[in-house]
Amino acid sequence: MRLLFQFLIIVVISFVGEMLNHFIPLPIPASIYGIVILFTALKMQWIKPHHIGDVCRFLILIMPVLFIPSAVGLIKSWDLISANLLQYVVILMVSTVVVMAASAIATQQVIKRSKRKQQQQQ
Amino acid sequence: MIGELAENSIYFGVLLSLTAYGVGLWLKRLTGWALVNPLFIAIVLVISVLLLFDISYDTYNRGADIISYLLTPSTICLALPLYQQIELLKRNYKAVMAGILVGSLSSVCIVLLLALLFGFDHASYVTFLPKSITTAIGIGVCQELGGYVSIAVAVIIITGVFGGIVGEKIFNILHIDEPIARGVALGTSSHAIGTSKAMELGVVEGSMSSLSIVVCGIITVVLAPIFANFL
């Protein structure tokens, strides 16, 4: 019963997210509304972590598997992609590496700077 | 024969997906290489099986669809680790925001630069603008700007898989040892697929990555229409 209740909470939030996505004319998906709703509910203590913990851990654990079907959908648009394959691959790889490096360096630099400041104050 | 079986079974899609992912996990344990990514192996295996036995995507997806169905609930669950790490986030608020902002901005800039270099037309260019954000937001942005939606889906997903594969390598080369920085980078560059990788690295990485999906997605919704005017 406990797992069923936990899953019910998540499904209710998914449903509300879906409704918001439907009625608000912004390109924001149900899942993003859902994250904000669940986060707010946890913050306001309407929902406690133990009310959803087991189901959350399971769903997060299996997350990579959930991407398989849409990734395989790549074969449907293969004809469009294969026409410019090389350029697409280059732009995809280069930009992913650049973004990963840029945001990692930026975050780490700011953290290091504030750590140094704290040490100086002490 | 297998094609016929597949067509008559609604469990085929799920069975194939889970088995392929299991093989991916097994190969990762066997080799121990960071570059052996279970998700990537699973995708390649499923595509190979479909092509080999001439099974259509729709036949596969009739069953596999229930897997995708869980994607929204699963993404919503990311709010829990985020909530549990809220103190850490508050202490490092500036660093996290700086990282996400720099990442989102560099994403649209590098796409513009390479699109100019390759002489892309407007439609191909805007297809790549939302490549680092989560699929559902990315589709909306691409549609709004007049790109190729089916290509955008593939581009976004491959970006995620590729980011998950090369992430650790990049962090080692650049000496990124702060878990917060690793999480922000994975989420900002490779959205939810990067986040599932970040969850493997640790709960701090995972929660920072979850936050980055949300914030980076919203920043890109604003940035992409502006950048769409440049080509």
- Domain ranges for chain A, please list them: 1-64, 75-122
Contact list in A for residue B163 (CB cut-off 8 A) is 96, 100
Contact residues for A110 (Cβ-Cβ < 8 A; gap 6+): B92, B94, B95, B98, B99
- Across the interface, whether the CB atoms of A100 and B186 are under 8 A apart is answered yes
Contact residues for B124 (Cβ-Cβ < 8 A; gap 6+): A84, B115, B147, B148, B151
Is the pTM of the predicted complex or chain greater than 0.80? yes
Contact list in A for residue B76 (CB cut-off 8 A) is 10, 13-14, 17, 31, 34-35, 37-38
Instruction: Find the closest chain B residue to A88 by CA distance.
Output: B155
pLDDT in tens, A46-97: 999 999 999 999 998 888 888 888 889 888 888 888 888 999 999 999 999 9
Instruction: Find the closest chain B residue to A26 by CA distance.
Output: B140
A34 closest CB neighbour out of B72, B155, B180: B72
pLDDT in tens, B49-108: 999 999 999 999 998 988 888 988 998 998 998 898 888 888 899 999 999 999 999 999
Note the pLDDT of residue B113. 95
Q: What is the pLDDT confidence band of residue B32, given thresholds at 50, 70 and 90?
A: confident
Residues 167-206 of chain B whose Cβ lies under 8 A from any Cβ of chain A: 167, 170-171, 174, 176-178, 180-182, 184-186, 188-190, 192-193, 195-197, 199, 206
Q: Which residue pairs, CB below 8 angstroms and at least 24 apart, start in A75-78?
A: A75/B47, A75/B50, A75/B51, A75/B57, A76/B57, A76/B150, A77/B148, A77/B150, A77/B151, A77/B153, A77/B154
Mutate one of B39, B46, B54, B76 to test the A interface: name it (highest A CB count within 10 A). Answer: B76
